[in-house]
């Protein structure tokens, strides 16, 4: 499979490329230039031909929807950049994908959409997102909104993965436990599972999964839907 | 009431100015100046957070008539980022009342419009991505803007009334013909402007929630969209009915 991964400057994109390149051809992209061992194309995800060229020949797009942390633009402040990137650039990317006959996309979203719920609630994919107006959280919500319209109208099959703070288990072993942690290797595994998701008999062009770390003391397993539907099987625990 | 009008010199803006000026003090803004106006005018680009926030200072309400349809970059700048700026401005200045506007397709895109009837305002937005079947983000960029408005109402003490239009007609310059029928959602510009005035007058406590959507369409019998909610809550009473268009022409 030919895979395009956006947000190449992120550690997650690099980890995805390393793992997925074992079985797929991987192309990376970002709005800034980076050094990488993989094929890389710098692209602003504008509405011109360069975005079409970026996605041409791809079978699937993994859209992490992440701006480089130090990215700036003289014409827009950082809040605007985030909202603009999550909406307009996501639209441009997916529109180009449709034009170039890409069939599938995986969108990286956030569990911060559920932060306003109390911790003792059994929040899962059946609960309505409650975004704050924080530009990152609002932007992720609007990115999902955009993806859903492409999926709803049958233009693309889109899988949305929502996850928390991406960490390496060895980096946080001395830190106070944070229930939003997800180990980067488990998250890469989740994306791999999403790539293999088969569309069932129903016309289901949109699916969403919460990707959470294993928790041995939970009443029922976290990421229950992802385990049952796409075979997500997390290996890393932050508490025994 | 001090009212900020965004997009005040576009297709709808001048009619809104006419409807509001007997009742309110207006600050009219746009990227294009009016030919002649008795009101304060400021150049405001909806893509500029600074300009929108500064324009909202001292205002009691905002009416957003700004829109850009075809150009992909500017459409998102005006329709999506512009809404983010407008709501940020409302929160910054403690403005409790915002009237947003847009096409009905920001709620009822092709997955509703091509299929269903008896559509109400209390349905999830399905804008689709290509209103006119091509590279045109008009409806989704406006729909994202309205979603931003909704999220702000869920996080701050601000009310948004989103007035949805389609087929805006100027009765003095009609572009339709007797007996040819109309789109099943149509309203005159002066009735649409009057709906904005009603939105400024309605008691916020009477609204069912802080984010309310209204179909501002005239009385037509097609059974696809209903203006019942606008009549019930806002007191909307359209004057221009366009009956001659949706009745067959008879020679005798």
Tokens of B171: 């009765």
Query: Is CATH 3.20.20.70 correct for B2-246?
Result: no
Query: What span, in angstroms and rounded, lies between the C-alpha atoms of A190 and A5?
Result: 15
What integer pLDDT is reported at residue A196 of this predicted model? 86
What integer pLDDT is reported at residue B164 of this predicted model? 98
Partners of residue B76 in chain A, C-beta under 8 Å: 84, 87-88, 91
Helix (H, G, I), strand (E, B) or coil at B219: coil
Q: Is residue A106 part of a domain?
A: yes
User: Min CA distance, A188 vs chain B (Å)?
Assistant: 30
Q: Is residue A69 part of a domain?
A: yes
H helix and E strand count, chain B: 9, 9
Mention every residue, 6+ apart, whose C-beta is less than 8 A from residue B26: B3, B5, B8, B17, B20, B39, B40
Query: What span, in angstroms and rounded, lies between the C-alpha atoms of A101 and A203?
Result: 18
What integer pLDDT is reported at residue A197 of this predicted model? 73
Contact B152, B158 (CB under 8 A): yes
Selected residue of B148, B152, B157, B158 to mutate for chain A interface (largest A Cβ count, 10 A): B148
A3-7, A234-238, B33-37, B166-170: which is most confident: A3-7
pLDDT tens track for B54-101 = 999 999 999 999 998 778 899 999 999 999 999 999 999 999 999 999
Helix (H, G, I), strand (E, B) or coil at B79: helix
Question: DSSP labels for B141-188?
Answer: HHHHHHHHHHHHHHHSS-EEEEEEE-SEE-TTS----TTS---SS-EE
Query: What span, in angstroms and rounded, lies between the C-alpha atoms of B11 and B102?
Result: 12
On the question of pLDDT at A107 being above 90, the answer is yes
Nearest CB to B129; choose among A84, A131, A149: A149
Query: What span, in angstroms and rounded, lies between the C-alpha atoms of A215 and A240?
Result: 8
Q: Is residue A77 part of a domain?
A: yes
Where residue A201 falls among pLDDT bands split at 50, 70, 90? very low
Q: Which residue of A has its CA nearest to B128?
A: A149
Q: Is residue A172 part of a domain?
A: yes
Contact B5, B13 (CB under 8 A): yes
* CATH code, domain carrying A191: 3.40.50.720
Ramachandran region of residue B244, left (φ > 0), alpha (ψ -120 to 50) or beta? Answer: alpha
What integer pLDDT is reported at residue A148 of this predicted model? 97
What integer pLDDT is reported at residue B145 of this predicted model? 98
How many independent structural domains does chain A possess? Answer: 1
User: Min CA distance, B157 vs chain A (Å)?
Assistant: 13
Place of tokens 């959470």: A212
Q: Is residue A240 part of a domain?
A: no
What integer pLDDT is reported at residue A222 of this predicted model? 86
Query: What span, in angstroms and rounded, lies between the C-alpha atoms of A232 and A106?
Result: 15
What does the pLDDT average to over A17-27? Answer: 98
What integer pLDDT is reported at residue A18 of this predicted model? 98
What integer pLDDT is reported at residue B127 of this predicted model? 94
What integer pLDDT is reported at residue B167 of this predicted model? 84
Helix (H, G, I), strand (E, B) or coil at B234: helix
On the question of pLDDT at A35 being above 50, the answer is yes
The range of the structural domain enclosing residue A7 comes to: 2-230
What does the pLDDT average to over A122-132? Answer: 96
Nearest CB to A133; choose among B49, B72, B155: B155
What does the pLDDT average to over A131-156? Answer: 96
Q: B83: part of which helix (H) or strand (E)?
A: helix B82-93
CA-to-CA separations, A191 to A146, A181, B7, B153, B193, in angstroms, rounded: 20, 16, 44, 34, 50
Return per-residue pLDDT of chain B as tens, 252 residues. Answer: 999 999 999 999 999 999 999 999 999 999 999 998 999 999 999 999 999 999 999 999 999 999 987 788 999 999 999 999 999 999 999 999 999 999 999 999 999 998 999 999 999 999 999 866 666 889 999 999 999 999 999 999 999 999 999 989 888 876 778 888 888 999 999 999 999 999 999 999 999 999 999 999 999 999 999 999 999 999 999 999 988 888 998 865
Q: Is residue A236 part of a domain?
A: no
3-state SS of chain B: helix, strand, coil percent to 5? 35, 20, 45
Which phi and psi angles does B229 have, rounded to 5°?
-65, -45
Partners of residue A89 in chain B, C-beta under 8 Å: none
What does the pLDDT average to over A41-48? Answer: 96
Mention every residue, 6+ apart, whose C-beta is less than 8 A from residue A204: none
Where residue A74 falls among pLDDT bands split at 50, 70, 90? low
Helix (H, G, I), strand (E, B) or coil at B100: strand
Q: B89: part of which helix (H) or strand (E)?
A: helix B82-93
What integer pLDDT is reported at residue A239 of this predicted model? 76
Nearest CB to B147; choose among A132, A142, A155: A142
A146 contacts B156? CB cut-off 8 A: no
Where residue A217 falls among pLDDT bands split at 50, 70, 90? low
Nearest CB to B147; choose among A46, A77, A145: A145
Give the pairing of strands B159-165 and B168-169.
unpaired
Q: Percentage of chain B with pLDDT > 90?
A: 81
A133 contacts B127? CB cut-off 8 A: no
Contact B96, B207 (CB under 8 A): no
Nearest CB to A91; choose among B84, B137, B147: B137
Q: Percentage of chain A with pLDDT > 70?
A: 95
What integer pLDDT is reported at residue B174 of this predicted model? 67
Average pLDDT, chain A: 93
> pTM to 2 decimals?
0.95
What integer pLDDT is reported at residue A138 of this predicted model? 98
User: Min CA distance, B150 vs chain A (Å)?
Assistant: 10
B81 contacts A80? CB cut-off 8 A: yes
A87 contacts B76? CB cut-off 8 A: yes
Contact B101, B45 (CB under 8 A): no
Q: Which residue of B has its CA nearest to A137?
A: B151
What does the pLDDT average to over A188-201? Answer: 82
Partners of residue A130 in chain B, C-beta under 8 Å: 154
Question: DSSP labels for chain A?
Answer: -EEEES-TTSHHHHHHHHHHTTTSEEEEEESS----SSEEEE----SSHHHHHHHTT-SEEEE-----TT--BTTB-HHHHHHHIIIIIHHHHHHHHHHTT--EEEEEEEGGGGTTS-TTS---TTSPP---S-HHHHHHHHHHHHHHHHHHTTS-EEEEEEE-EEE-GGGSTTSPP-TTEEEHHHHHHHHHHHHTPPP-SS---EEEEEE--B-TTSSS-SSHHHHHHH------BS--
What integer pLDDT is reported at residue A209 of this predicted model? 96
Q: Quick check: A206 contacting B, CB < 8 Å?
A: no
Q: B74: part of which helix (H) or strand (E)?
A: helix B72-75
Q: Which residue has the higher pLDDT, A122 or B39?
A: B39
Q: Is residue A238 part of a domain?
A: no
Q: Is residue A239 part of a domain?
A: no
Query: What span, in angstroms and rounded, lies between the C-alpha atoms of A24 and B151?
Result: 39
Neighbouring-strand partners of residue B168? B187
Count of positions (residues) in chain B:
252
A152 contacts B111? CB cut-off 8 A: yes
Contact A58, A3 (CB under 8 A): yes
Partners of residue A145 in chain B, C-beta under 8 Å: 143-144, 147
- Decide: residue B221, CB within 10 A, 0-12 exposed, 13-18 middle, 19+ buried: exposed
Tokens of B73: 């970059």
């Amino acid at each position: 499979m030919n895979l395009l991964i956006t947000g190449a400057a992120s550690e997650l994109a690099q980890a995805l490329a390393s793992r997925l390149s074992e079985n797929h051809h991987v192309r990376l992209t970002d709005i800034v230039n980076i050094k990488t061992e993989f094929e890389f194309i710098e692209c602003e995800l504008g509405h011109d031909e360069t975005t079409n060229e970026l996605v041409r020949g791809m079978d699937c797009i993994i859209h992490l929807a992440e701006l480089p942390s130090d990215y700036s633009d003289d014409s827009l402040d950082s809040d605007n950049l985030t909202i603009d990137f999550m909406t307009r650039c996501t639209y441009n990317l997916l529109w180009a994908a449709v034009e170039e006959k890409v069939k599938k996309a995986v969108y990286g979203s956030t569990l911060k959409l559920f932060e306003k719920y109390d911790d003792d609630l059994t929040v899962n994919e059946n609960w309505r997102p409650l975004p704050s107006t924080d530009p990152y959280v609002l932007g992720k919500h609007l990115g999902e909104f955009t993806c859903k319209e492409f999926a709803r109208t049958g233009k693309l099959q889109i899988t949305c993965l929502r996850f928390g703070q991406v960490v390496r288990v060895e980096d946080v072993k001395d830190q106070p436990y944070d229930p939003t942690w997800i180990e980067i290797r488990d998250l890469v595994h989740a994306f791999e599972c999403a790539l293999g998701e088969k569309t069932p008999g129903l016309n289901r062009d949109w699916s969403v999964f919460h990707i959470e770390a294993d928790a041995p003391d939970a009443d029922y397993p976290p990421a229950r839907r992802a385990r049952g539907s796409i075979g997500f099987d997390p290996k890393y625990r932050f508490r025994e | 009431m001090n009212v900020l009008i965004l997009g005040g010199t576009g297709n709808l803006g001048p009619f809104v100015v006419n409807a509001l000026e007997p009742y309110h003090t207006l600050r009219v803004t746009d990227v294009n100046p009016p030919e002649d106006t008795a009101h304060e005018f400021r150049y405001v680009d909806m893509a500029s957070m600074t300009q929108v926030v500064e324009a909202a200072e001292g205002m009691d309400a905002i009416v957003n008539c700004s829109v850009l349809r075809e150009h992909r970059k500017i459409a998102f700048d005006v329709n999506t980022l512009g809404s983010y700026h407008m709501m940020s401005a409302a929160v910054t200045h403690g403005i409790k009342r915002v009237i947003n506007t847009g096409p009905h397709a920001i709620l009822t895109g092709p997955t509703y419009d091509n299929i269903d009837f008896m559509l109400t305002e209390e349905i999830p937005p399905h804008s689709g991505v290509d209103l006119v079947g091509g590279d045109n983000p008009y409806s989704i960029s406006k729909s994202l803007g309205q979603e931003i408005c909704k999220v702000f109402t869920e996080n701050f003490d601000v009310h948004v009334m989103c007035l949805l239009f389609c087929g805006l007609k100027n009765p003095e310059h009609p572009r339709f013909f007797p007996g040819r029928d109309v789109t099943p959602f149509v309203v005159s510009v002066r009735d649409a402007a009057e709906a904005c005035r009603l939105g400024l007058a309605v008691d916020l406590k009477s609204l069912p929630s802080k984010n309310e959507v209204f179909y501002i369409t005239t009385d037509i019998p097609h059974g696809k969209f209903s203006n019942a909610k606008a009549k019930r809550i806002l007191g909307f009473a359209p004057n221009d009915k366009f009956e001659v268009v949706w009745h067959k022409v008879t020679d005798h």
